[in-house]
Copies of this chain bind each other. A is one copy, B any other.
Amino acid sequence: MNFIIKDEFFTRYQNLVTGTVIPYQEKIFRDEIPGTERSHAIQNFAYAAEMVETGSPSGEFYGFIFQDSDLAKWIEAVAHALALAPNPALEKRCDEIIHYIARSQHPDGYLNSYFTMKAPDKKWTNLCEAHELYCAGHLMEAAVAYAQATGKNTLLDTMERKAGHIYARFVTGGAEGYPGHPEIEIALMKMYAHTKNKKYLELAGHFINVRGVNPNFFYEESQRRDWCVWGMNTQDTEYAQNNKPLRELTEATGHSVRAVYLYTAMADYAMATGDDALKKACKALWENITEKRMYVTGAIGSAYEGEAFTADYHLPNDTAYAETCASIGLIFFARKMLELEKRGEYADVMERALYNCVLAGMELDGTRFFYVNPLEALPGISGVTKTHRHALPQRPTWFACACCPPNVSRLLASINHYAWGMEKDTVYSHLFIGGELDLSASLGGKIHVTTQYPNHGKIEYTFIPNGGGEMSLTLAIRLPGWSKNTEILFNNNKIEFNNNLNYAYITKKFAHGDTITLHLDMSVRQIYATGKINANSGKIAFSRGPFIYCAEGIDNGGDILHLSVKKDGKIETKDFDPNILGGITPITAEGYRAKDSGNIYSFTPPTYTPCEIKLIPYYTWANRGLNQMRVWLPLAQVER
């Protein structure tokens, strides 16, 4: 099953990633952009290679202890980009970088530029903070992707040796511990899927099985070492999800990226092994996140403090942490849950996180990124006060800690892998993206998907059996929760369909040119949050298709804080406008503009003037300068 995207919406994003983001980030990793924070990530490996080979490197390590992982994510993005379209020059440069990495490996398989250069005697003494396993994981993911895209195994061989080193230490050697930042578990499952070497499955399972069994491991480790990276509180066991054995977890806690990376691996491992207890924990964690701890944009992580989940229904809008990487991790988790169980809600959440939080993480031109994606921006407060330092109202050009930008790249460059699923002769259409699905090897043909989704609701699947015969299969199409009325047509005639857990299953022998057409209801929906979320009391949000909308100051006279939406007022979908914000479908809603006394507190009620509230898709916010922004708007009925 291979899917090539040909789609107005995502082709643009993939071109951005290949044409702008990857080259820009390469320049950053090569320290070639003046005035931008130095990365040094490539040079670190070059020096580490000299250190391993000669013992006397010609320069010093620079950057965070996890600097290797930034480059690893970029290599993975490059691999996905090369899979989309050949680029021999880029591939050659990437091969050279990989060569440095391979040469930096020690004879025993150990590989990490920080420890090689800065602290060779401190290896494996600080699993809590030092990100050794995390960096190894990202390099393994890159290795698998690069091997799959190019057929070249230098990095994969290197990382297999590294995995062997880790296996020897933790499994054969019986060393205690588990990673401070989960990630390698995902990577090992990918290594296993690609190589079929069961040792990687076993090692992933090992880290899953031992985590939290001794919740005090990080504390005990801290007592044995005389150094630290950040001086983390090793007794906060919820932070890194080591408070309990993982099969007992029911609440998503702590650092939200760590959490969803871990849960992704748990789901993957549960599927590979049929581990029901783990499956059950994954389901409980999924429900806790999506039913109690997720923003309407698919963002997660309510607090800057610990970049973390906090408590059920605590979802502040202006101080949200809502890290781009966390929503990317939620997409990983959703995809694995979807493999475990074909339920539309998993793909609904995947879509919600992708089209809202993740896309908002990148400026439309691909050169700036948000770490934090708040649901309300208040110029003068957001990014300014100590409470809102993290919640910037505009995307900066760089980050010293550059985890999010390459994470967006690798996801968008590989988004074709998220659109479809397959089980025997059932093909699952999870995300609605135009392009060509090649099933020649398995089901004897192709499916062409034509659509202007997400701006329009029509998705057409055209069947092209090999050699003009027939394709016998079940097409299972997700029925999105937001589509009130969904129609499915076969060769332009409406058909009935079974809805099983929000997938429509259509079993047919498809002849050449047969079409299945999906009509999704793109009418605007008003969203009501449960009253338990104190931040959204008396407010509503708007969505259309997969997009959550927001109001920005620039479209609304510079001030949206005095706006309220008229209860049961008129809502209009404007025509798709290709000329604004890269092409959007604006919405207007009837509302009021309050004019208050101007006093901070007053006994005089404000007067209300009817007005039109202009709304844009959330992912396009902050592309037109400094602005107020709100997803949740107060609802009012002023006339009697």
Evaluate whether A531 and B561 lie within 8 angstroms (CB atoms) in the complex, with A600-B294, A637-B638 already known: yes
Nearest CB in chain B: distance from A348 CB, A:
11
Contacts of A482 in B (CB 8 A): 603
Which one, B310, B386, B532, B604, contacts A385 given CB within 8 A?
A: B310
Is there an interface contact between B381 and A603, defined as CB atoms closer than 8 Å? no
The segment from A150-158, A160-168, A311-319, A617-625 found at the interface with B is: A311-319
Is there an interface contact between A603 and B303, defined as CB atoms closer than 8 Å? no
The chain B residue sitting closest to A317, CB to CB, is B534
Q: Which of A546-587 contact B (CB under 8 A)?
A: 559, 561-562, 564, 567-568
Contacts of A596 in B (CB 8 A): 528, 530-531
Interface of A: prevailing SS: loop
Is there an interface contact between B314 and A381, defined as CB atoms closer than 8 Å? yes
* A636 at interface by CB-CB < 8 Å: yes
Which one, B314, B386, B484, B636, contacts A306 given CB within 8 A?
A: B386
Contacts of A386 in B (CB 8 A): 303, 305-306, 308, 310
The chain B residue sitting closest to A537, CB to CB, is B634
Bound CA span A302–B380, Å = 14
Which one, B376, B387, B538, contacts A534 given CB within 8 A?
A: B376
Is there an interface contact between A606 and B528, defined as CB atoms closer than 8 Å? yes
Bound CA span A462–B598, Å = 40
* A599 at interface by CB-CB < 8 Å: yes
* A452 at interface by CB-CB < 8 Å: no
* A230 at interface by CB-CB < 8 Å: no
* A440 at interface by CB-CB < 8 Å: no
* A79 at interface by CB-CB < 8 Å: no
Bound CA span A598–B528, Å = 10
Evaluate whether A291 and B600 lie within 8 angstroms (CB atoms) in the complex, with A532-B561, A606-B531 already known: yes
The count of identical subunits is: 2
Bound CA span A104–B638, Å = 68
Bound CA span A632–B294, Å = 25
* A225 at interface by CB-CB < 8 Å: no
Q: Which of A340-382 contact B (CB under 8 A)?
A: 376, 378, 380-381
- A interface residue count range (under 10 / 10 to 19 / 20 to 34 / 35 or more): 35 or more
Cβ contacts A46-72/B at 8 Å (1 or 0 each): 000000000000000000000000000
Bound CA span A538–B605, Å = 11
Bound CA span A572–B629, Å = 38
* A519 at interface by CB-CB < 8 Å: no
Is there an interface contact between A602 and B531, defined as CB atoms closer than 8 Å? no
The chain B residue sitting closest to A603, CB to CB, is B525
Is there an interface contact between B605 and A526, defined as CB atoms closer than 8 Å? yes
Evaluate whether A311 and B385 lie within 8 angstroms (CB atoms) in the complex, with A291-B599, A538-B564, A538-B635 already known: yes
Is there an interface contact between B380 and A311, defined as CB atoms closer than 8 Å? yes
Nearest CB in chain B: distance from A411 CB, A:
23
Contacts of A598 in B (CB 8 A): 530
Bound CA span A384–B534, Å = 16
Bound CA span A311–B534, Å = 22
Which one, B306, B538, B604, contacts A634 given CB within 8 A?
A: B538
The chain B residue sitting closest to A305, CB to CB, is B386
* A99 at interface by CB-CB < 8 Å: no
Bound CA span A319–B386, Å = 13
Bound CA span A522–B94, Å = 77
Which among A314, A562, A599 has the highest number of chain B CB atoms within 10 Å?
A314
Contacts of A533 in B (CB 8 A): 600
Nearest CB in chain B: distance from A484 CB, A:
8
Bound CA span A109–B332, Å = 69
* A594 at interface by CB-CB < 8 Å: yes
The chain B residue sitting closest to A561, CB to CB, is B531
Contacts of A567 in B (CB 8 A): 637-638
Nearest CB in chain B: distance from A250 CB, A:
15
Which one, B290, B599, B638, contacts A600 given CB within 8 A?
A: B290
Which among A530, A532, A559 has the highest number of chain B CB atoms within 10 Å?
A530
The chain B residue sitting closest to A376, CB to CB, is B534
- 11 further A-B contacts with Cβ under 8 Å, apart from A531-B606, A541-B601, are A311-B380, A319-B387, A381-B534, A482-B603, A484-B603, A528-B603, A531-B596, A532-B561, A534-B561, A537-B538, A537-B561
The 8 A-B residue pairs with the shortest CB-CB distance in the complex, in nearest-first order: A538-B634, A305-B386, A531-B562, A310-B385, A637-B637, A538-B538, A537-B634, A303-B387
A-side interface residues toward B, CB under 8 Å?
Answer: 290-292, 294, 296, 302-306, 308, 310-314, 316, 318-319, 376, 378, 380-381, 384-387, 482, 484, 525-534, 537-539, 541, 559, 561-562, 564, 567-568, 594, 596-606, 634-638, 640
Interchain Cβ contacts under 8 Å between A and B, 29 examples: A291-B600, A296-B601, A306-B386, A310-B385, A311-B380, A313-B381, A314-B378, A314-B381, A314-B387, A316-B387, A319-B319, A381-B534, A526-B603, A528-B597, A528-B602, A528-B603, A528-B606, A530-B596, A530-B599, A530-B600, A532-B561, A533-B600, A537-B538, A537-B561, A538-B564, A538-B635, A541-B601, A568-B640, A637-B637
